[in-house]
Amino acid sequence: MTERKSPTAVLREGPRALSDAQVREIEDSSLEQVLNVDIDDVIEYVHKDLRSLPDFTTLYRKYLKQRWDVYDLDFSQDKIDWQEKMTEEERQSFIAVASGFHHGERQVEIELPVFMIGASEEEKLHIAAQIEDEARHTVFFDRFYREVVGLKGDDIMDILDASFPWVSETFVAPFGLLAYQADELRLHPYDERARVRYGTNYFLWIEGVLALSVMKVTLSYARWRGFLPAYYTGFTATCRDESRHVQGGMRYLQDAVRKDPTMISEIHDTLRTILSVSGVVSRRIYYEPLGWTDDEVRVLFFQQLRRKLNDVGIGLSPDLEELLQKVQPVLAGG
Residues in touch with another protein (CB under 8 A): 107, 164, 167, 169-173, 175-177, 179-181, 183-184, 197, 269-270, 272-273, 276-277, 280-284
Q: Please report how close the Cβ of residue 21 comes to another protein at its closest, in angstroms.
A: 43
| CA distance linking residue 40 with residue 217, whole number of Å | 10
- CB 209 → another protein: shortest distance, Å? 17
Considering the complex, state which of residue 46 and residue 253 has its C-beta at the smaller distance from another protein: 253
Q: Which is nearer to another protein, 106 or 244 (CB)?
A: 106
Q: Are 99 and 164 in contact (CB under 8 A)?
A: yes
Comparing CB distances to another protein, the nearer of 10 and 159 is 159
Measured from the CB of residue 154, what is the shortest distance to another protein in angstroms?
A: 19
User: What's the closest the beta carbon of residue 139 comes to another protein, in angstroms?
Assistant: 19
Instruction: Give min distance, CB of 273 to another protein, in A.
Output: 4
Q: Nearer to another protein by C-beta: 4 or 284? A: 284
Which residue, 197 or 245, is less far from another protein as judged by CB? 197
Name which of 165 and 333 has its Cβ closer to another protein: 165
CA Rg, the chain, in Å? 19
Q: C-beta of 295: minimal distance to another protein in Å?
A: 14
Q: Length of the chain in residues, anyone? A: 334
Nearer to another protein (CB atom), residue 265 or residue 310: 265
Nearer to another protein, 107 or 233 (CB): 107
Position 39, amino acid: I
Closest CA to 107 of 181, 207, 178: 178
Q: Which is nearer to another protein, 194 or 230 (CB)?
A: 194
CB of 185 to another protein, least distance (A): 11
**Least distance in angstroms from the C-beta of 47 to another protein:** 27
3-state SS of the chain?
Answer: CCCCCCCCHHHHHCCCCCCHHHHHHHHHCCCCHHHHCCHHHHHHHHHHCCCCCCCHHHHHHHHHHHCCCHHHCCCHHHHHHHHHHCCHHHHHHHHHHHHHHHHHHHHHHHCCHHHHHCCCHHHHHHHHHHHHHHHHHHHHHHHHHHHHHCCCCCCHHHHHHHHHHHCCHHHHHHHHHHHHHHHHHHHCCCCHHHHHHHHHHHHHHHHHHHHHHHHHHHHHHHHHHCCCHHHHHHHHHHHHHHHHHHHHHHHHHHHHHHHCHHHHHHHHHHHHHHHHCCCCCCCCCCCHHHCCCHHHHHHHHHHHHHHHHHHHCCCCCHHHHHHHHHHCCCCCCC
Q: What minimum distance in Å lies between the beta carbon of 182 and another protein?
A: 8
Say if residues 130 and 60 touch (Cβ distance below 8 Å): no
